[in-house]
Chains A and B, each alone.
Chain A
Amino acid sequence: MNTLGWTRRALIAAATATMSFGGPALADGHQVLDSIHFVIPGGAGGGWDGTARGTGEALTESGLVGSASYENMSGGGGGVAIAYMIENAESLDDTIMVNSTPIVIRSLTGVFPQSFRDLTLVAGTIGDYAAIVVPTSSEVGSMEDLLAAYQEQGADFAIGGGSVPGGMDHLVAAMVMQAAGEDPTAVNYIPYDAGGEAMAGLLSGEIDALSTGFSEAIALADQGEVRILGVSAPERVAAFDEAPTFMEQGIDTTFVNWRGFFAAPGLPEERLKQFQDAIAAMYDTEAWETVRARNGWVNIHNPGDDFRAFLEAQEQEIGDLMRTLGFL
């Protein structure tokens, strides 16, 4: 019994040693923060929810943060959570809120009165490019074909998407058409309730092309359902390098739907640095790579001031387009 005990102890010691030698250098208990509380402006199971929980999982698994907790706070298209962060700023030292491109769009359209300027910017962490796809059976093989078909059919050429008019999928379609020299207001954009519904519309032949997220497009292209005509990345994406960019087809436009984290206004400098350090260190961990690969996310790291510059540029671009389209 005693011998067995010793053998077992030796085994455990050996296993522990192997683990700490084999593990990534940054993950060996280099804890930056005791705990993080995530505020999620939407319900369980959505994109924001997945981002916050995935990030929390990677941070705790890698030992960068001691523990993570989550709070879903839906309402007002994210406005309820933003108001909460601002009103309770003094007591939210360990809290960060997840958000994405819609915080820019919705503050422009006035869904909520605040904007990203009213919060402390922690970092943009991941992103997804946008894509325009057609069914595999379609005769349209490139953006050039699509533009030719559009010029010929006019408003009969319908482009669908999973967002409201003036929402992200519509803006991407309009942005691409504008960069290609067409009138963005003439695009017949057909809105659907969600990406899946829009995809069904495309496959049933109700719409001619679809504006959607690149990761969604890859999943369907892999199944042989759709052909990706263009992706809004500056250069081809390694995850699916068959897909040409808009840029290489002479359409000068890029777009990224980012996701990132915000903290309450007036957060102490020191604490902000801790949040940013934990996130920066997270990218090199195996735990993050597992989460990232599982979700098909693209790493787009934009800490602090870079994040502000990026958001201001995006706000400018989207704002101009929305004014052209008559939404503002």
Chain B
Amino acid sequence: MLEGIMIGLTAAFSIQNLLMVIAGCLIGTFIGMLPGLGPMSIIAIMIPVAITLGDPTAALILLAGVYYGAIFGGSTSSILLNAPGVAGTVATSFDGYPMARKGQAGKALTIAAVASFAGGTIGAILLMIFAPALSSVALLFHSAEYFALMVVGLSAIAAFAGTGQVAKALMMTILGLILATVGEGALFNMPRFTMGLMDLQSGISFITLAMAMFALPEAMFLVLNPARGSNGQEGGSGKITGLRFSRQEAKAMAPVIGRQSVQGFFIGVLPGAGATIASFLGYAVERNIAKGEEQAEFGKGSVKGLAAPETANNAACTGSFVPLLTLGIPGSGTTAILLGALIALNVTPGPRLMTDTPEVFWAVIISMFIGNLVLLILNLPLIPYIAKILSIPRNYLIPFILFFTLMGAYIGQNNATELLILVGLGVMATIFRFADYPLAPLLIGFILGTMLEDNFARSMQLYRGLDFIIERPMTLALLVLALLLVLLPSYRARRARKRAEGVADGD
């Protein structure tokens, strides 16, 4: 391994490759910040550039830089605009946006940068240690386990829901699951709920739905509710002070970052799970671990609630490189695009990558350390300027958000009907927002719905029934965990109520 690290260091510190890291991170951050342009589309745009480089090491370093740069940039738009362009940073907006509204945008961005840096760096160390060994773990998971994992992901929604919101959250989750059934499923040869429209044949696009749920209602809300808008402006405008967080806050964050880098990394290793599930699960777990007041703070601008998903999504990004580099199996859409680029450059990722082309493997890992450092250096001094987005007067910002939302939905698909779907869903989401229904569970239900159904159907077909629940112990264990996740909040609430009643009785 030491020899490998040396090869990696030599390759990664060449001037060309250092430039690639910096270029990749810069491009990723700036484009990732724009709502609607996720890492997948950015990497797809960058592939021709990377291939013309001709050098697989440089190409992969550039694309990896774009990837984690985009996740960094994505959290900025989640915090400042509540418009996550990347599914992996949806959970970031839960506490990041409330913090920004409280006038702590600067602090929120710093925390996001530090947590991302820690998650990415610890993830890279874990990748270095575990990549060789981990290649076998991912293979223990069958469709049955993936199905159970999705159930865990969905039951975590009960943990997101605030007091009195559980029923609403579950309703929105089910609506998300329903929306996920539109189109030709991967396992069925039949178009479902397309109403005969060709544009719905391949289902509702995730990017369109995400922007309809988050960006559009935000803009509409500001238009329809100007009082609230100017309020937000007061909070966000002026000088962004207080970039630093206190020692106390650092102390609160440290264990969260420690736990979430490890948990996020391992979730990222599982093919199909990735940054999104890692960030949601990370948020849910930390919310359940937190006690009393700290728990109540979640969703209202908690430091822990922001650090958890930010650490987890970056660690998971790094983790997703494990199946890619060791098995040649892409665990996510983004790594699938990276795989395509590598094959185009005549490098076949797989178990033999480490022995055949060690310079590619190790240079990419070393460049991850450099990239994370570059992003931290880039982001900390730039934060006041980035945060200036908030001091743009609302009447300029709203058209800007609308423009990029509509552009984002149109680019990549080049299909004008996508705009109509976006606006339709956006109007629906705005109504939900006014009625105080949470929109995040809908998106989670939508993302997990397809995978849940596919894996369930596959398991049913393989075991000709529901026997897989009993026959596969890991599936059973995960399902029990999901049940606990659902019951825990209500158990706690009941205990708290009882205690409160007891006090009242004693009075």
Q: Are B327 and A224 in contact (CB under 8 A)?
A: no
* Complex contact B352–A75 (CB within 8 A): no
| Residues from chain A with Cβ under 8 Å of B348 in the complex | 219, 222-223
Q: How far is the CB of A169 from chain B (nearest CB, A)?
A: 12
Q: Cα distance A83–B198 when bound, in Å?
A: 10
B188 interface contact, C-beta 8 A:
yes
Pick 25 A–B contacts, CB within 8 A, sort by A: A43-B412, A44-B45, A50-B344, A71-B414, A72-B414, A74-B413, A75-B198, A75-B415, A75-B417, A76-B198, A76-B202, A77-B184, A83-B198, A112-B198, A164-B187, A191-B186, A193-B454, A194-B336, A196-B271, A196-B329, A196-B336, A204-B139, A206-B462, A207-B462, A224-B352
Q: Return chain B residues, CB-CB under 8 Å to A45.
A: 44, 47, 337, 340
For the complex, is A240 an interface residue (Cβ under 8 Å from B)?
A: no
- Given A45-B340, A164-B187, A196-B329, A223 and B350 touching (CB < 8 A)? yes
The 5 closest A-B pairs by CB, nearest first: A76-B198, A223-B350, A193-B186, A166-B189, A44-B44
Q: Which of B140-148, B150-158, B285-293, B401-409 lies at the interface?
A: B140-148
CB distance from B274 to the nearest CB of A (A): 13
Contact B143 A80 (CB under 8 A): no
Chain A residues lying within 8 Å of B198, measured Cβ to Cβ, are 75-76, 79-80, 83, 112
Q: Please report B residues at the A interface, Cβ cutoff 8 Å.
A: 41, 44-45, 47-48, 138-143, 184-189, 191, 198-199, 201-202, 271-272, 323, 327-330, 336-337, 339-340, 343-346, 348, 350-352, 412-415, 417, 454, 458, 461-462, 464
Which among A75, A155, A194, A295 has the greatest number of chain B C-beta atoms within 10 A?
Answer: A75
CB distance from A84 to the nearest CB of B (A): 10
Query: Residue on A with the closest CB to B143?
Result: A206
New contact pairs (12) apart from A191-B187, A223-B351, CB-CB < 8 Å:
A45-B337, A76-B199, A80-B199, A111-B201, A167-B189, A196-B329, A197-B271, A201-B142, A203-B327, A224-B351, A294-B344, A294-B345
Q: Give min CB distance, B182 to chain A, whole Å.
A: 13
Contact A73 B415 (CB under 8 A): yes
Q: How far is the CA of A158 from the CA of B458 in the complex (A)?
A: 11
User: Bound state CA distance, A206 and B454, in angstroms?
Assistant: 14
What does the 1/0 interface line of A43-62 toward B look like (CB < 8 Å)?
11100001001000000000
B142: nearest chain-A partner, CB-CB = A206
Known contacts A75-B201, A75-B202, A164-B189; is-contact A200 B138 (Cβ 8 Å): yes
CB A279 to nearest CB in B, in angstroms, measures: 22
Q: Are A219 and B352 in contact (CB under 8 A)?
A: no
Measured between alpha carbons, how far is A206 from B459 in the docked complex, in Å? 9
Residues of B within 8 A of A223 (CB): 328, 348, 350-352
Interface residues of A in 172-193 (CB under 8 A from B): 188, 190-193
Report the separation of the CA atoms of residues A44 and B329 in the bound assembly, to the nearest whole angstrom: 20
- Please state if B458 and A72 are interface contacts (CB–CB under 8 Å): no
Q: Which of A76, A194, A327 has the most CB of B within 10 A?
A: A76
CA–CA, A312 and B462, complex, Å: 36
Contact B184 A164 (CB under 8 A): yes
Interfacial residues of chain A within 102-144, with CB under 8 A of chain B in the complex: 109, 111-112
Does A66 lie at the interface of the complex (its beta carbon under 8 Å from any beta carbon of B)?
A: no
Instruction: Judge if A234 is at the interface, Cβ distance under 8 Å.
Output: no
Q: What B residues does A188 contact at CB under 8 A?
A: 461
Chain A residue nearest in CB terms to B340: A45
B414 touches A200 (CB 8 A): no
**Which residues in A have their C-beta under 8 angstroms from that of B458?**
190-192
Q: How far is the CB of A170 from chain B (nearest CB, A)?
A: 9
Is B352 a contact partner of A73 (Cβ separation < 8 A)? no
Q: Give the distance to chain B from A200, nearest Cβ to Cβ, in Å.
A: 5
**Contact between A204 and B140 (Cβ–Cβ < 8 Å)?**
yes
A199 at the interface (CB under 8 A from B): yes
Q: Mark A299-328, 1 if CB is under 8 A from B, else 0.
A: 000000000000000000000000000010
Q: Return the chain A residue nearest B335 by Cβ.
A: A196
Shortest CB–CB separation between residue A233 and chain B, in angstroms?
21
B189 touches A327 (CB 8 A): yes
CB pair A196–B339 under 8 Å, yes or no, is yes
Decide if A265 is an interface residue (CB 8 Å cutoff). no
Residue contact A74 to B141, C-beta cutoff 8 Å:
no
CB closest residue in chain A, given B191: A111
Chain B residues contacting A112 (CB-CB under 8 Å) are 198
| A32 to B461 Cα, complex, angstroms | 54
Indicate whether A149 reaches chain B with its CB closer than 8 angstroms.
no
Contact A197 B272, beta carbon cutoff 8 Å: yes
Interfacial chain A residues near B188, Cβ < 8 Å: 164-165
Which residue on chain B has the smallest CB distance to residue A79? Answer: B198
User: In the bound complex, do residue B329 and residue A73 qualify as a contact, i.e. CB atoms below 8 Å apart?
Assistant: no
A298 within 8 A of B: no
> Do residues B191 and A201 form an inter-chain contact, with CB atoms below 8 A?
no
Distance of A201 Cα from B327 Cα, bound (Å): 12
The residue in chain A whose Cβ has the minimal distance to the Cβ of B45 is: A44
CB atoms of B412 and A44 under 8 A apart:
yes
- Do residues A220 and B328 form an inter-chain contact, with CB atoms below 8 A? yes
Contact B199 A219 (CB under 8 A): no
Check A200–B412 contact: CB distance below 8 A. no
Whether, in the assembled complex, A252 has its beta carbon less than 8 Å from a beta carbon of chain B, the answer is no
A197 to chain B, nearest CB (A): 7
Q: How far in angstroms is the closest Cβ of chain A from B203?
A: 11
Q: Tell me which residues across on chain A come within 8 A of B345, comparing CB atoms.
A: 294
